Structures are given as structure tokens and as C-alpha cells.
Structure 1
Amino acid sequence: MGYLMLSGAILAEILATTSMKYSDGFSRLWPSLGTALGYVIAFALLAQTLRTVAVSTAYAIWSGAGTAVMAAIGMVFLGEAATAAKVAGVALVIAGVVVLNLGGAQ
């Protein structure tokens, strides 16, 4: 159940961050409200996740997945450059999360 809540937290964080892009510096009401609501949901679900999943594991997955997915969204949908350095950086983030979780597995 913890990893299901963690998945929800990741999804909420991704939606909140995407909404922030469209809030135009918090000058547009609905995207701004979507940002705030998304982060409230993300942190609430992350807090519930921490009841059953180690904080190092949960936070590494939450932040790493959010970073990787937002970078992909930026490159695919928002017109950001898909440079070799950016793609390598995303791969390193993913590898780092995997190594942290393998190192902490018992």
C-alpha cells in the first residue's frame, strides 16, 4: 500500500509542477490553484507513505521519478532541448535512485 501512495504522490507532484509552468508566475488563477492543490496532495501522500516505507527509499524514488518525468515532459511537450547532457543527467538520476535503493535493501 505504501508504494501505491508513493505513486500517487509522484503523480500529484508532476501535475503540480506542470501546472506551475502554466501559472505564469502565479498570475493565472486556475493553474496556480492546481499547483497548490497538487503539492498539498503530493506531500500528504508522501507523509502517509513514510508510515510504511523508509524515508531514504521513499524520498529517493519520489524526487528521482519527479525529476526524470518532468525533464521528459519538458523535452517532449514543452519544447525544451533534448541535449545529450540533459538525457545523460536524467539517466544518472535514475541510476542514482536504483543504486540508493539497492544499497539500502535488506
Structure 2
Amino acid sequence: MNAWVTLSLAIAAEVVATSALKSSEGFTRAVPSLVVVLGYGLAIYLLSRVLATIPVGVAYAIWSGLGVVLITLVAWVVHGQRIDFAGMVGMGLIVAGVVVLNLFSSSTVH
């Protein structure tokens, strides 16, 4: 499987697992807790496969940057959490950093 597709799946699994953390209510609810454990397990496994192709610094920058933005969006949509203007600007900078890294860095593998 393409490393970028695998990284995307790893990020998605991490976002699902992190989203389920709130619903697990401190690991007192079985199904959300299982989603957390399986989601993080899958995410780490997929990320480990990605690192055979994409440098760890690049993969982790993309993983963490997009993960922060996506989990914030999920928290907004699912849990009604709000983000202020400064938070939106900060997340915009994170996305811009990921774009710059992918488009202009010689560290990435295309």
C-alpha cells in the first residue's frame, strides 16, 4: 500500500481513537474503551509501516499536525466544543506547515 495512504489511515485511526476517549468516560464504558485501544493499536501499527518509507520527522509532523486539526474539528462537531479566532489561526498555521513540508522540503518522499 502507498505510504501516504497508509499514513492517512493511521491518522484516521488515531482521530477515531482520540474521539472515543471522551465517550469512554475514563475507560468505564466498554465499547468506547475498546474503540480507543483498537484505534490506537491500529494507528501505531500503520505508522510503523509508514516509517519504512517516509522519514520519521516528516511522518510525525504530518501525523501530529493533521491529527490536532482533525480532532479539533471532531470535538467541535460531535461535542460542541468551541474554538476562538486565535485557535483557528494556530490550526491554520499547522496546516500551512504541513503543506510547506510536503511541497518544498527535500526531506519528504514523493
Q: TM-score, normalised by structure 1?
A: 0.91
The one-letter amino acid paired with 2:3 is G
- Which residue number corresponds to residue 13 of structure 2? 12
CA RMSD of aligned residues (A): 1.4
Quick one: distance in 2 between partners of 1:89 and 1:31? Answer: 30
In 1: Cα distance, 2:106 partner to 2:99 partner: 10
Cα distance in 1 between the residues matched to 2:89 and 2:80: 18
Partner residue in 2 for 1:74? 75
1:91 lines up with 2:92 in the alignment: yes
Moved over 4 A (4+): none
2:19–2:75: 8 Å Cα contact kept in structure 1?
no
Identity across the alignment (%) = 43
Q: What does residue range 1-106 of structure 1 map to in structure 2 within 5 Å?
A: 1-102=2-103, 104-105=105-106
CA contact (8 A) 1:71 1:90 kept: no
Distance in 1, Cα, partners of 2:6 & 2:103: 21
Deviation sequence 1:45-95 (CA, Å, 0-9, x none): 000000011111111111111100011111222111131122112112112
TM-score by length of structure 2 reads: 0.88
